[in-house]
């Protein structure tokens, strides 16, 4: 007997429900789209027929009567994200549908286990988390509740694959796998803003141009709705009983109280005028050029130091490791890209070349050299267009100018931010890797599923495990430990799996 249902029911004709129904008819399933509100049902039906005209003509059935879904082998609910509403619906469907019908929830934040208890057959309840908009996003996250049986999982997987989705399976828990592993993207950005490290526009620009993300965290909050994100944050907090990594931000609470919720209200972190873009287009990065044989020492042994030396050489610098200089050919600038930073730094000698030091596992002030400037970059540098720079009140102007000149000639735009371990991108990305390590270590999903989920479900430029491989997991661990040393906040504790590290990372699947 095939696991793929012939008859599919979709409850809720909004954006998500209509998109799921479109996928159903295109996959050849007889699809019943239900909504108790005739106007909503009409809009949803019109949407499906517009984008799946031929398939909808033969496979789509619209109904305001829930009992017409009685013969469906799979019913997916896509109603508003309220636990009571979804539980009541599952109770109703248990009375309407035949025994053995699989009931799926499209929830993105409610524990599937709590909803399964409302059904007459909890073993036939499963999570099917589609990403918005369902017809375009390539991922389906299938969630196994405590009660979910093997058949329900098989039906959900077969349906997703018939719809053309890459299916990953996650264990039930706060945010499941994808939204959980993405939690630091917004949460760490809010923390950086709260600490005054950078303005929200700077953080977004750094994330886009330095990390290659399509959208910065504050732009994303505005798109989703700040109130929606705040409710999700409170849900994470409640379900985890106060996990420090998931504590909601007071900055979110203030925005919600003010009613500035993002694009839907015309104002959030940005203003959204009707006849203009909310921000200027990002400028192109300069081409690497102009080194003219100038001698630069780039210290360090990891991926960042190696790639920065190569980039400097591409720009025309005579870039070498510090120990390769001597005999009267001293460098005019020292770039210290050593992570973790040594207990005793190189330091800028009196009358010697200026020092620009990486701020990864410690702040610039924590490096103990009052004359240095700081920087941060994350490999791979071939996709990075921007470098973060920082300085101290005691940093000479000549050193700041030398830092700007070097990185401009290496082909990077610049953003000056406040001093802190990791600056901006060096906190957000290591926290993404660290959260993925927690999730994998707790058995929520595999390393491959984490990377697939965040690239296909959320359009990240690469998954956390791929990031860790590019940066170096020792670099990531040093960054997390450096945040703990500086802030003593338990949100910056390293996942046990990350601390074990070494050749066993990621673990065998």
For the annotated catalytic residues, the residue numbers are 108, 129, 141, 179
> Which sign does the torsion angle of CA 386, 392, 397, 402 carry?
negative
Measured in whole angstroms, how far is the alpha carbon of residue 102 from the centre of its chain? Answer: 31
What is the spatial distance between Cα 439 and Cα 181, in angstroms, rounded to a whole number?
Answer: 7
Place of tokens 């994200």: 81
User: Which pair of structure tokens corresponds to residue 59?
Assistant: 């496979």
**Could you give the C-alpha distances from 43 to 7, 8, 22, 56, in angstroms and in order?**
22, 19, 13, 14
Q: Are strands 166-171 and 355-358 parallel, antiparallel or unpaired?
A: unpaired
In sequence order, which residues have a C-beta less than 8 Å from that of residue 397 and are 6 or more positions away?
Answer: none
What is the spatial distance between Cα 494 and Cα 436, in angstroms, rounded to a whole number?
Answer: 11
Helix, strand, or coil here: 144?
strand
DSSP 283: P
What is the spatial distance between Cα 47 and Cα 35, in angstroms, rounded to a whole number?
Answer: 14
User: Which pair of structure tokens corresponds to residue 409?
Assistant: 């000639």
What is the spatial distance between Cα 30 and Cα 490, in angstroms, rounded to a whole number?
Answer: 51
Q: What share of the chain is helix, strand, coil (3-state, %, to 5)?
A: 45, 15, 40
**Half-sphere CA count of 267, side-chain side, radius 13 A:** 5
CB 115 within 8 A of CB 103: no
**Terminal CA-to-CA distance of the chain, rounded, Å?**
29
Exposed, middle or buried: residue 21 (CB in 10 Å: 0-12, 13-18, 19+)?
buried
Helix, strand, or coil here: 179?
helix
Q: What angle do CA 443, 448, 451 make, to 5 degrees?
A: 105
- Minimal CA–CA distance to 169: which of 184, 150, 182, 183? 150
Exposed, middle or buried: residue 399 (CB in 10 Å: 0-12, 13-18, 19+)?
buried
- Minimal CA–CA distance to 36: which of 12, 68, 10, 9? 12
Exposed, middle or buried: residue 15 (CB in 10 Å: 0-12, 13-18, 19+)?
middle
């Amino acid at each position: 007997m095939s696991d793929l249902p012939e008859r599919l029911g979709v409850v809720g004709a909004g954006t998500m429900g209509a998109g799921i129904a479109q996928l159903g008819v295109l996959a050849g399933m007889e699809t019943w789209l239900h909504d108790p509100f005739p106007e909503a049902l009409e809009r949803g039906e019109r949407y499906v027929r517009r984008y799946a005209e031929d398939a909808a003509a033969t496979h789509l059935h619209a109904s305001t009567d829930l009992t017409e879904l009685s013969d469906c082998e799979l019913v997916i609910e896509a109603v508003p994200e309220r636990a009571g509403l979804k539980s009541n619906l599952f109770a109703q469907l248990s009375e309407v549908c035949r025994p053995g019908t699989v009931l799926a929830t499209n929830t993105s934040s409610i524990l599937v286990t709590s909803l399964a208890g409302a059904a007459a057959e909890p073993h036939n309840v499963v999570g099917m988390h589609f990403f918005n908009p369902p017809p375009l996003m390539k991922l389906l996250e299938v969630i196994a509740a405590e009660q979910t049986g093997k058949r329900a999982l098989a039906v959900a997987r077969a349906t997703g694959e018939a719809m053309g989705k890459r299916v990953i399976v996650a264990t039930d828990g706060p945010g499941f796998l994808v939204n959980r592993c993405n939690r630091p993207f917004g949460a760490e950005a809010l923390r950086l803003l709260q600490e005054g490290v950078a303005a929200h526009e700077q953080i977004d620009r750094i994330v886009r141009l330095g990390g290659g993300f399509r959208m910065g965290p504050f732009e994303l909050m505005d798109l989703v709705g700040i109130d929606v994100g705040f409710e999700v944050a409170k849900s994470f907090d409640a379900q985890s009983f106060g996990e420090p990594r998931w504590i909601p931000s007071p900055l979110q609470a203030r925005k919600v109280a003010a009613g500035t919720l993002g694009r839907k209200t015309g104002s959030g972190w940005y203003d959204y005028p009707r006849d203009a873009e909310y921000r200027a287009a990002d400028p192109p990065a300069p081409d690497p050029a102009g080194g003219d044989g100038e001698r630069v020492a780039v210290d360090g042994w990891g991926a960042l130091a190696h790639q920065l030396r190569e980039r400097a050489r591409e720009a025309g610098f005579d870039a070498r490791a510090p120990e390769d200089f001597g005999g009267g050919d001293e460098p005019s600038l020292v770039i210290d890209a050593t992570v973790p930073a040594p207990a005793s730094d190189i330091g800028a000698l009196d009358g010697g070349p200026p020092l620009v030091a990486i701020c990864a596992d410690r702040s610039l002030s924590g490096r103990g050299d009052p004359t240095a400037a700081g920087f941060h970059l994350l490999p791979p540098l071939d996709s990075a267009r921007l470098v973060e720079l920082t300085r101290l009140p005691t940093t000479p102007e000549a050193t700041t100018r030398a830092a700007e000149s070097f990185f401009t000639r290496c082909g990077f735009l610049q953003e000056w931010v406040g001093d802190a371990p990791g600056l901006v991108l060096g906190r957000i990305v290591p926290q993404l890797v660290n959260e993925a390590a927690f999730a994998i270590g707790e058995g929520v999903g595999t390393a491959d599923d984490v990377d697939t989920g965040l690239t296909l479900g959320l359009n990240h430029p690469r998954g956390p495990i791929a990031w860790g491989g590019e940066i170096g997991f020792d670099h990531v661990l040093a960054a997390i430990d450096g945040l703990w040393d500086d802030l003593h906040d338990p949100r910056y504790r390293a996942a046990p799996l990350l601390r074990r590290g070494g050749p066993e990372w990621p673990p065998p699947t």
